[in-house]
């Protein structure tokens, strides 16, 4: 178990990613969709990890959806960075984390693999996320 910390650029969205395997086993997926390409976001997830997100000013977090609208991109409205995206299916809230927002681990040291999920149905997409994405908890900063 390793704890990886990260945040948006200004620190409004802060997180701890508890990762079950050694950090060097972590893989970044450069999603090929138009949004992730424009963002330069590279995602990682593991169903046995846990993502704890702490938000200072919730009013300064924008939520962006597109396509099937099954994923929510959490965008800091102050600095414009997207540290994570979430997906909800039933009562299961799960996330992918943008490795480029890691602060305790050098993003360039993470191995990348390409991924492309275009053409997948909404149902297949939700089932895949349920298998692969990281359980998520979002809370307000004290």
The residue ranges that bind Zn ion (CB under 5 A) are 8, 10, 12, 76, 78-79
Considering beta carbons, is residue 12 or 45 the nearer one to Zn ion? 12
Give me the least distance between CB of 81 and Zn ion, in Å please: 6
Give me the least distance between CB of 48 and Zn ion, in Å please: 28
137 - beta bridge partners?
Answer: 52
Considering beta carbons, is residue 75 or 126 the nearer one to Zn ion? 75
Q: Which of 97, 108, 112 is nearest to 8 (CA)?
A: 97
Give me the least distance between CB of 78 and Zn ion, in Å please: 4
**Residue 142 CB partners (closer than 8 Å, separation 6+):** none
- Distance set, CA 134 to CA 38, 74, 109 (Å): 23, 15, 21
63 - beta bridge partners?
Answer: 74
Give me the least distance between CB of 13 and Zn ion, in Å please: 6
Considering beta carbons, is residue 8 or 138 the nearer one to Zn ion? 8
Give me the least distance between CB of 90 and Zn ion, in Å please: 30
DSSP designation for 11: S
Characterize the bridge pairing of strands 27-31 and 111-115: parallel
Considering beta carbons, is residue 78 or 93 the nearer one to Zn ion? 78
Tokens at residue 5, please?
Answer: 């910390």
Considering beta carbons, is residue 15 or 19 the nearer one to Zn ion? 15
Tokens at residue 42, please?
Answer: 């590279």
């Amino acid at each position: 178990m390793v704890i990886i910390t990260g945040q948006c650029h200004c620190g409004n969205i802060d997180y701890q990613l508890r990762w079950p395997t050694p950090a060097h086993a972590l893989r970044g997926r450069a999603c090929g969709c138009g949004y992730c390409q424009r963002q330069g976001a590279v995602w990682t997830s593991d169903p046995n990890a846990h993502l704890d997100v702490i938000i200072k000013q919730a009013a300064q977090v924008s939520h962006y959806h597109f396509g099937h609208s099954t994923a929510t991109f959490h965008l800091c409205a102050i600095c414009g960075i997207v540290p994570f995206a979430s997906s909800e299916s039933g009562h299961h809230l799960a996330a992918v984390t943008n490795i480029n927002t890691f602060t305790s681990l050098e993003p360039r040291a993470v191995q990348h693999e390409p991924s492309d999920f275009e053409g997948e149905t909404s149902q297949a997409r939700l089932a895949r996320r349920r298998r692969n994405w990281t359980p998520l908890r979002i809370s307000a900063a004290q």
